[in-house]
Amino acid sequence: MAAYFGIINDYEKFVKAFQSLSGLDLNYYKENQMKRRINNFMATHEYKDNYTDFLKALDCDSNLYDAFFKHLTINVTQFFRDLRLWDVYREKIIPELLAGKTSLKIWSAGCSGGQEAYTMAMIMAEYFPNIRYSILGTDIDINVLQQARAGNYEERDFASTPRPFLDKYFTPADNKFQVKESLKGNIRFQEQNLLTDRFDRGFDIIACRNVVIYFTDEAKNVLYQKFTDSLNIGGILFTGSTEHLFGKSHFGLKSISSFFYQKQ
């Protein structure tokens, strides 16, 4: 049975009603930027400022709901995105972590379609083949998690990928590329809301890259503290190439390279 929505005539009421419908609290996101994204989507689908009819349509039309949810959560990524940073990850971060370890517990937070998690797995398989590791990939969008588990990608996903990795770890299939089963064995994907769900602990590396761009400062502070609490001492938080972590000492972190922060 469809949910009932009264007259929704302003953004605040829309946020409350959408949280009831989806479980996603838009109060954690920057209001001006989020309002623009919502209103642009509504205008494209000919709802303009009619929040009431739009919410009813979201409740009744699963395709519209999925498209809107994906639009809000900005699921855009690639394998080896920001290749220079992955070179630092491979040449500096992993070797330093392995100086005192024989295994790694890794988390790709906000993993989208799994490209980042599989990038991490390729690096481990290619450069550290004798090291035991596990990778957790989490995202709030169940649709992109389906893609991550299937491991089926389009050519544009590999724009930053060195060709030898594409040839070695993927199989061409129907104008797409299928990740080989051998790469899936150490990866697990699950649904998670970073802002409200509890986190596992004991991670050596947490990558959260290009996820918090639209979060409020308050939400970022909560999230970064939760990440720090989930890291082992000496563990690494890896952020996006536009996400400088100001006030890092407050979270018990220090910068060891651009966009890599170590728990003290």
Residue 174, in any domain of the structure: yes
Residue 191, in any domain of the structure: yes
Residue 4, in any domain of the structure: no
The parent domain of residue 47 ranges over: 11-73
CATH number at residue 133: 3.40.50.150
Structural domain count, the chain: 2
**Do residues 236 and 140 share a domain?**
yes
CA distance linking residue 59 with residue 65, whole number of Å = 7
**Do residues 166 and 236 share a domain?**
yes
Q: Quick check: helix, strand or coil at residue 257?
A: strand
pLDDT tens digit sequence for 113-122: 999 999 999 9
**Do residues 51 and 122 share a domain?**
no
**Do residues 110 and 64 share a domain?**
no
Residue 78, in any domain of the structure: no
Only one residue has tokens 């503290």, namely 225
**Do residues 125 and 20 share a domain?**
no
**Do residues 144 and 232 share a domain?**
yes
The last residue of a domain, from among 73, 92, 123: 73
pLDDT tens digit sequence for 34-59: 888 888 888 888 887 678 888 888 88
CB-CB contact of 234 with 97 (8 Å): yes
CA atoms within 13 Å, Cβ hemisphere of 252: 15
The last residue of a domain, from among 21, 50, 73: 73
DSSP per residue over 124-173, as a string? HHHH-TTSEEEEEEEES-HHHHHHHHHTEE-GGGGTTS-HHHHHHHEEEE
Residue 65, in any domain of the structure: yes
**Do residues 140 and 51 share a domain?**
no
Cα of 190 vs its chain's centroid, Å: 11
Only one residue has tokens 């797409």, namely 176
pLDDT tens track, the chain, 264 positions: 345 445 456 788 888 888 888 777 888 788 888 888 888 888 888 887 678 888 888 888 888 888 887 777 665 678 998 899 999 999 999 999 999 889 999 999 999 999 999 999 999 999 999 999 999 999 998 989 999 999 999 998 998 999 999 999 999 988 899 999 999 999 999 999 999 999 999 999 999 998 887 789 899 999 999 999 999 999 999 998 777 776 677 789 999 999 999 999
Question: How many other C-beta atoms are found inside a 10 Å radius of the C-beta of residue 105?
Answer: 21
Supply the pLDDT for residue 158.
Answer: 94
Residue 2, in any domain of the structure: no
**Do residues 162 and 88 share a domain?**
yes
CA distance linking residue 132 with residue 149, whole number of Å = 21
**Do residues 216 and 193 share a domain?**
yes
The last residue of a domain, from among 73, 105, 126: 73
**Do residues 22 and 133 share a domain?**
no
CB-CB contact of 97 with 231 (8 Å): no
Residue 34, in any domain of the structure: yes
Residue 1, in any domain of the structure: no
CA distance linking residue 92 with residue 255, whole number of Å = 13
Which pTM does this prediction carry?
0.81
**Do residues 67 and 89 share a domain?**
no
**Do residues 153 and 195 share a domain?**
yes
Closest Cα to residue 211, out of 126, 161, 149, 137? 137
